[in-house]
Amino acid sequence: MTEFETVSPARSEQPPEQRIQALALALFDHVDAAHRLPTQDRRLLQLAAAYSSAARQSHAARQDRAGRDLVLAAPIPDLTPSEQAIVAGVVAFQRAKLRPHREPAFLRLGKNDQQTALGLAAILRLADALDSEPVGNLSIQIDREVTTLIVGGARAAEIASRADERADRWRDRIGALMVRVAELDELGNTEGAADGPDAGPVARARADRPTRAGSRARRRADRRGGAAAAAAVLRQAAGARGGGARR
């Protein structure tokens, strides 16, 4: 069994967009360790989380459309057109009904890129559900193809229930997922918090964690680049609102 523990102290003062982004990246990193996802996918997920949060802050009637249109409004530095379309798809697919056949940018993608968009959308959707209430402690465990989320904290039952309801796309695209409430003192011995743009969930692997040369350096670089891009997204969204741009 490959087991990881992620501790996420409830921090109500942390902006929701940072909490959701951190949860999404924590989920990605654990799935990455088990399934060896492409390196660039992490940055695409981080950008999608930022655009989705920007759309939420816009209070648009259709936030999925507003976020998608914001992604496609202008070229994104260092992304290919296909990668930009993946990000647009991830943001658009945060809606209740998937309906991929209604997304022109998604339909232009090749089969593999479409699967990437759907998988990243499933991760972001689950992260958003986990942040429906500030999560106390979260343990992510991976046993071969099965991922288990153990939720602790005062609102653990509500969070676990919502996460389980919104885990259907994860199960369809990534694999088996179980969500349960932590037993008494089950997560009591974990502690710590991350610094920087990923503050919130703190991933700590046990001794049997798989290792890959250069993975830490890669993730540090991704965090720096992704955080800067996310900040640019929020500035772009603020400028669009201030200029009365059509959504």
In a domain, 89, yes or no: yes
In a domain, 116, yes or no: yes
Q: Is a pLDDT exceeding 60 seen at residue 213?
A: no
In a domain, 174, yes or no: yes
Give the per-residue pLDDT at 63: 87
Higher pLDDT, 137 or 7: 137
In a domain, 142, yes or no: yes
Burial class (CB in 10 A: 0-12, 13-18, 19+), 60: middle
Cβ neighbors of 99 (< 8 A, separation 6 or more) are none
Task: Give the CATH number of the domain where residue 138 resides.
Answer: 1.10.3210.10
Give the per-residue pLDDT at 188: 59
In this predicted model, what pLDDT tens digit does every residue of 120-133 receive, in sequence order? 999 999 999 998 77
Give the per-residue pLDDT at 132: 73
In this predicted model, what pLDDT tens digit does every residue of 137-178 receive, in sequence order? 888 888 877 899 999 888 899 999 999 999 999 999 999 999
Averaged over 178-190, what is the pLDDT?
Answer: 76
Query: Can you read off the two tokens belonging to residue 169?
Result: 């796309």
In a domain, 155, yes or no: yes
In a domain, 247, yes or no: no
In this predicted model, what pLDDT tens digit does every residue of 30-66 receive, in sequence order? 887 777 778 889 999 999 999 999 998 877 778 899 9
In a domain, 39, yes or no: yes
CB 187 within 8 A of CB 161: no
Indicate yes or no: pTM above 0.85.
no
pLDDT more than 90, % of the chain: 48
Burial class (CB in 10 A: 0-12, 13-18, 19+), 83: buried
Averaged over 205-232, what is the pLDDT?
Answer: 44
Give the per-residue pLDDT at 181: 93
Give the per-residue pLDDT at 231: 52
Q: Is a pLDDT exceeding 70 seen at residue 207?
A: no
Give the per-residue pLDDT at 211: 40
User: What residues make up the domain containing 96?
Assistant: 2-242
Give me the number of domains the chain comprises: 1
Cα–Cα dist 122/114, whole Å: 12
